[in-house]
Amino acid sequence: MTHRVRLLVTVALFIGFATVVQDRHTVAAQTAPASGGAVAPSVLEDLAAAYRILAMEGVIDAYGHVSVRHPGNPNRFLMSRSLGPALVTPADIMEYDLDSTPVDPRGRNSVLERFIHGEIYKARPDVMVVVHSHAPSVIPFSVTQVPLRPVFHMATFLYTGVPIWDSRSVNDPMAQTLLVRNNLIGKSLAAALGNKEVALLRGHGNVVVGPNLQVTVRDAIYTEINAKLLLAALSLGGPITYISPEEGMAVEKNPGDTQRGWDLWKRKAYGQ
């Protein structure tokens, strides 16, 4: 083979490779879901702050995530790329459709369990925020017959009950990992959550849902604190006086000031 022939073959191979790469990018662009539209910088800033607050308060560590439904399109949601929560900035926020497919990944890795969020948003049009954590004090209540009930006035929202989702209920090999790795598993979790605000994942963690970041972040924090207090009360022995449904409903009708806590946590999370 002459030098000229070798050169022509090399050029042809390069053009062919470039065409394949271009075709792949074209297909990806065609199959990626459309964006729900521009999002105000304040939304991204608050979502990034939510990650940092929950990390600071010990609700999430290297793992765990928060999402918010897209303010302009209920069929999209926003959450961080796969990154340690305490490191999240507004630039790390990605957009997804409700099948948990990224809109514009740009080479960024997605959170493995993003399907938790997409399937809950599908099942619950009222939910605007989802928090998933491995809050340690909650775990014992996911693996025993002792229910997680409210004993603290800051956790009265638990009065409606806290269901437990067991990954073994899903007929999918991936469910054996105890992680929510696809839409089928996420759909099962969303069904177990039902109309509740909190659900436990057996041997894994919990989900907390709510109407906005301020309320949902607060409730995720106090779910963990209430679990600590209940464990302490149980260790003392004797009967426990729980928050009653009547008290829970009274607080529900007369909510407190969530903004005060949010402002404090946000400043602390940014070291101010």
- Residues belonging to the active site: 113
199 close to 162: Cβ distance less than 8 angstroms: yes
CA angle 61, 64, 70 (to 5 degrees): 135
Could you tell me which of 96, 168, 92, 85 has the C-alpha nearest to residue 134? 85
> Where are any strands of DSSP class E within 39-83?
65-69, 76-80
Terminal Cα-to-Cα distance of the chain (whole angstroms): 70
Helix, strand and coil percent figures for the chain, each rounded to 5: 50, 10, 35
CA distance 38 to 70: 9
68 close to 78: Cβ distance less than 8 angstroms: yes
